[in-house]
A = this chain, B = another copy of it.
């Protein structure tokens, strides 16, 4: 990556970058090392770089796992990273937003996500990262969804653009976001700092997701989602000596869970709800005075998502009342459905067709998961701009979010080539 401006020619560098990120996976909002490398790279390639509270507003974040973030910060310190920079990112977040090109006017923007997953990577010798020595060195953390590749592609795109000097007709903005998994508010917090102002074209990308190496999709449908934690506060009492004095938070949580799963179908589309966690009580002999549930739901229309949101609120309130306890509901994650631009999809398709290595350019793919990137795409659509969520096919080993997940690294160069070409095409419009 020493040489600038040769999109597609730097496959080796892309692979090296990706493998480096793969070795050092970091949790959501704990991407200190990753963001540090990204910021440095972008600075060195002539971008105007914003980090921490310049790039995002942590107050707009729904949820952050403080203990994991603190652990990750210690690891970054131990790895020799600058303590002042870590401090800034601890307070202001681990986003990096960088511009190149004109200081004003319309913007073409790309989003890349940097966080890893709480998964212990396989050390089976059939797993390439293990066999070739670039498996995760951070216990219990793994890039098992390809975000390491996304960051590499983002830097490859940066390198490609850097070589174009002052010739860029529009500003190009690269957004490296933390904490995509769990949709905990990172995208909303970046939007909140104004990073979508003047954005005319907004693209996100993801590797794999069912498409083989060589194929791409111009747009992708993700689901709308919300995640909540709910605390139930009742009252403890001895279960044989004074049962009537207890206010049973466990039964409130249990009833709520059953009722939440009883939210029925919607004739306009698809929805799924899951109470994934229930924790209540400490002892067989004590009426449980405290309980917590965590739940998520998904829908293929924002209206259906909102219908579920209303029912969830009603069920939690009613269940708490039924058992004489108090419930507090906390948002810990959300992402919308985002409309995607046919105009932009056509540009992407036109750029893709005929590219070396490209085997198929689909218009759409559908996915039964949610993506924080939809926050950016919904915002750009809302402002009258164009958005698309591009899938860059990659022959995946293992499945997404499993210990033996691995991408086909040949996809990286193809990704950089496609994004560079689309970017330049849009600048020329």
Contact = CB atoms under 8 A, between A and B. Distances in A.
A261 B254 CA distance: 12
A74 to B, nearest CB: 24
A280 B282 contact: no
Contact of A267 (B243, B255, B319, B370): B243
A265 B263 CA distance: 10
Interface stretch (A171-179, A193-201, A320-328, A351-359): A320-328
Q: Within the oligomer, what is the number of copies of this chain? A: 4
A270 B272 contact: no
Contact of A318 (B261, B311, B320, B401): B320
A278 B254 contact: yes
Contacts of A59: none
Interface residues of A, number: 73
Contacts of A264: 243-244, 246, 248, 261, 272-274, 287
A253 interface: yes
Contacts of A244: 264-268, 304, 307
Contact of A296 (B182, B278, B285, B401): B285
A241 interface: yes
A258 B260 CA distance: 10
A129 interface: no
Interface string A390-428: 000000000001000000000000000000000000000
A298 B286 CA distance: 12
Contacts of A84: none
B321 A259 contact: no
Given A251-B257, A254-B254, A322-B314, A278 B279 contact: yes
Contacts of A35: none
A340 interface: no
A276 B281 contact: yes
Per DSSP, chain A at the interface is mixed
Interface in A44-58: none
Interface string A329-340: 000110000000
A128 interface: no
A281 to B, nearest CB: 4
A242 B401 CA distance: 13
Contacts of A321: 314, 317-318, 321
Contacts of A104: none
Given A244-B267, A269-B270, A315-B322, 12 more contacts: A227-B285, A239-B274, A240-B298, A240-B369, A244-B264, A250-B275, A259-B323, A267-B368, A277-B284, A317-B322, A318-B322, A322-B322
6 contacts: A243-B264, A255-B255, A255-B259, A276-B283, A318-B318, A322-B322
